[in-house]
Amino acid sequence: MSEEGIWSSSVTICEWLESKIWTPLYLSHLFSTLFFFKICPICIEPQNRTADSEFLLLGLSDDPELQPLLFGLFLSMYLVAMLGNLLMILAVMSDSHLHTPMYFFLSNLSLADISISTTTVPKMLLNLQTHSKSITYAGCLTQVTFFSLFACLESLLLAVMAYDRLVAICQPLHYLVIMSPRLCGLLVLLSFFISLLVSQLQYLMVSQLSFCADVEIPHFFCDPSQLFNLACSDTSTNDILIYFTGAIVGGVPLSGILFSYYRIVSSILRTPSAGSKYKSFSTCGSHLSVVCLFYGTGLGVYLSSAVSSSPRKDAVASVMYTVVTPMLNPFIYSLRNRDIKSALWRMIRRIV
């Protein structure tokens, strides 16, 4: 029998049952409802099977000949990023001369860099090695949550470090009093707490989405913006929320950084000694380089995605702030910092 016949027959039966005088009203409604839905499953709204499904991460290239090259390249960058940031953390922890607010924030920044790379790169390496593109729904939600957490944490830590440089240059005599260990700990905890709230909001937004079958993500990790574009359900509210959180997470820290450096530059230009000016600028050079690298690549990806309609190019550009920036940060801070280099050499000599 055709679907139209089943539909008309079931409706006729249900109407006949409800029209009988001897059937109690509540029993009629209950029986007719159960009978109707048992016969007419096509009338039931289909359940969301997203939680049981798998997504496909298309990665950076579909060329099979490039897969070994990409695997070797990203494995090397990941190992360098892990080793460099771990050495930075160990150097700060092992040397008492580096137990200052600036290096305390730097070690937390290194921890955030390690976490960002670990959230995105290992899954991509596994897919390249196994020639697979699949990721489970739970794995995708995990990537969205932790990537949002550590990316937001890095943005806030860069703003905190800009404030630290502002106090060190503009109020050097009160630096140790203002940047007390208690305040430094509170700033890091507050940054982590805000990042955790943002990541949970991202998780809730993505978990409420419904996806059709065979979802192909043109990226090497589960980027929330890509998931919003691929969702079958309405994402208008989510779009507003993601722009709002993006303005808070990216705009507010960046505004704080720009304001801090405006005050720093104004204070340095009032210094009469050229040597003092150079010394003040040199203390900010590493942090300013990291800020330009992190925000420059992030804004570049955002603006390019708004102008062009090539998700694959956006994925290639995202490599800059997910892999390259965490790899370069330890070198930027260590190569231009005598204290870090001395601490690293002392630590290596103790190990050897």
DSSP for 186-245? HHHHHHHHHHHHHHHHHHHHHHT----SS-EESSSS--HHHHHHH-SS--HHHHHHHHHH
* Tens-level pLDDT at each residue, the chain (352 residues): 444 444 444 444 444 434 443 343 333 333 333 333 333 333 323 344 455 577 888 888 778 888 889 999 999 999 999 999 999 999 899 888 888 999 999 999 999 999 999 999 999 999 888 888 888 888 999 999 999 999 999 999 999 999 999 999 988 889 999 999 999 999 999 999 999 999 999 899 888 888 876 778 888 888 887 788 788 877 777 778 877 887 788 888 999 999 999 999 888 888 777 777 777 777 788 888 888 888 887 776 666 655 555 666 677 778 888 888 899 888 888 776 788 888 888 887 877 6
Lookup: tokens for 164: 């630290």
Name the one residue in this structure whose structure tokens are 């994925």.
315
**pLDDT score at 318:** 81
CATH number of 54-351: 1.20.1250.20, 3.10.180.10, 1.20.1070.10, 3.40.50.300? Answer: 1.20.1070.10
Q: What is the pLDDT of residue 339?
A: 80
What confidence score (pLDDT) does residue 113 get?
A: 93
pTM of the complete model: 0.80
Distance, CA of 184 to CA of 157 (rounded, Å): 11
Q: What residue ranges do the domains of the chain occupy? A: 54-351
- CA–CA gap between residue 203 and residue 209 (Å, rounded): 10
Read off the DSSP letter of residue 179: S
